[in-house]
Amino acid sequence: MDFELSEELIATRDLAREFAEKEIAPTAAKDDRDKNFRPDLVKKMGELGFYGSVIPENYGGNGLGFLAMVLITEEIARVHSAMRVAINMQIGPAMTVLEFGTEEQKKKFIPPLMSGEQIGCFAITEPDAGSDVAALRTTAAKDGDRYLLNGSKIFISNAPVTHSGLVYAYTDRTQKHRGMTAFYANWNQPGLTRKPLETLGAHCSPIGELIFDNFPIPVPNRLGNEGDGFKICMWQLNQTRLNCAAGALGVARAAREAAVNYCNQRVQFGQKIGEFQMNQDLIAQMIVHEEGARLLVHRAAWLADQKKPNNLETSIAKYTAAEAANFAADAAMKILGAYGYSTEFPVERYYRDAKSYQIVEGSSNVQKMIIAQDALGYRKANR
């Protein structure tokens, strides 16, 4: 086993860290407070190649691999978790088109996502289809050389601002999940209403509803065949899940760093509070959870780079990292006390942002279900 990162990966990570600290950090608190979406930063991350690590050069990527992707993502999330969401919204659709698209689709759809010129998204969740993806109700009816979408999607990251992205709908509801189809849609068509939603955290990542009323998608924008949608969706979620795991890692690290800094500065009862055993206990636990999660995330990414199946390992990594982030944010708030609770300091932002990692891309409960069902032999995760 080799635990050393290559020089190339270290350079990539350092570049992301430098960018995050110089470009994102100075305005992170203000952006969060004002709920600023930052298309300029999305563009800049594209220019630096942060979306391209899992995409070959001929489609506008750089092919550095999945380890590079998780390293970059952790660095960005460490400084501002909401900006991590922006990365996933570019990478998720791009990887899915790369895996399931025709040559023409790849050439057309991927490069603008890589550069950040097009803001991406993926639209799966509906009011009555959360963990139970197959329960979605949006339909796509063929109408000549196009499909007409009807239905509504909810909790779609980038919904208020996206230019194009993935959407899943039923072309044949009688076939149950085998009747689901995936599309890559341009949203600049009539028949789409966007409604923004407010959430607890990730305030710079706009989120909302997409409501379709005979919304047209040309037949050439269909990914794969009719009926491939569920398979594509599950594949896509496994990829975007790994990015979430890396994001959670960033939040865990940010919270731990804030707690350690504070412990070394704050004096009570005549000594630095880091010298109290109770705080040492919390810091030790934060580090253990975070380090364990990092090894799991890197393993899942490494497997992907080796072209080996990693669904199970990704679920394990995402579950662990999400729990680590929430533990760390809670522990940091305990250590910082009223300063942690105050909006003057970033710990309350970590606390709010951490929560989403236990929910998105398969909740912690869904990850546990995947892990347990694999162990019990009911449903193998790596098929």
Partner 1 sequence: MAPFFDQDHLTLRVRARKWVEEKLLPRRDRNGAIEQQAVRLARELGGEGFLEYTVPLDSGGLRPRIQARDLCILREELARGEALADTMFAMQALGGYPIVLAGSREQKNRFLPAIAKGDGIAAFAITEAEAGSDAAALQMRATRRGKDFCLTGTKRFISNAGIAHSYVVFASTEPDKKSKGISAFVLGGDTPGLLVKEKTELLSPHPIGVVEFENCVVSEEALLGAEGQGLQIAFETLDLLRCTVGAAAVGFAQRALEEAIRYSRARRQFGRPIAEFQGIEFKVAEMATELEAARLLVYQAAWTHDCAGSDAKRKSSMAKYYATEAAHRIVDQALQIHGGSGLIAGTIMERLYRDVRALRIYEGTTEIQKLIIARELLK
CB of 368 to partner 1, least distance (A): 16
CB count within 10 Å of CB 275 equals: 14
The answer to whether residue 337 forms part of the interface with partner 1 (CB under 8 A) is no
How far apart CA 70 and CA 198 sit, in angstroms, is 27
What string marks each residue from 84 to 103 as x (binds partner 1 by CB under 8 A) or -? Answer: --------------------
316: its two tokens: 């394990």
Active site residue 104: no
Instruction: Considering the complex, state which of residue 279 and residue 367 has its C-beta at the smaller distance from partner 1.
Output: 279
CB of 275 to partner 1, least distance (A): 10
Instruction: Considering the complex, state which of residue 188 and residue 277 has its C-beta at the smaller distance from partner 1.
Output: 277
CB of 271 to partner 1, least distance (A): 12
* φ/ψ bin of 156: left (φ > 0), alpha (ψ from -120 to 50), beta (otherwise): beta
Tally the C-alpha atoms within 13 A of residue 177's C-alpha that lie toward its C-beta.
10
How far apart CA 326 and CA 316 sit, in angstroms, is 16
- Binding residues for partner 1, rule CB under 8 A, total 4
Distances (CA, A) of 98 to 32, 183, 236, 238, 380: 33, 13, 11, 15, 25
> By CB under 8 A, what part of segment 263-302 binds partner 1?
276-278, 281
Q: Give the residue from 279, 255, 256 showing the smallest Cα distance to 267.
A: 279
Instruction: Considering the complex, state which of residue 234 and residue 288 has its C-beta at the smaller distance from partner 1.
Output: 288
DSSP structure class, residue 378: S
What string marks each residue from 348 to 367 as x (binds partner 1 by CB under 8 A) or -? Answer: --------------------
CB of 286 to partner 1, least distance (A): 16
Instruction: Considering the complex, state which of residue 178 and residue 334 has its C-beta at the smaller distance from partner 1.
Output: 334
Would you please indicate which residues are annotated as catalytic (active-site) residues?
361
Contacting residues toward partner 1, per CB under 8 A: 276-278, 281
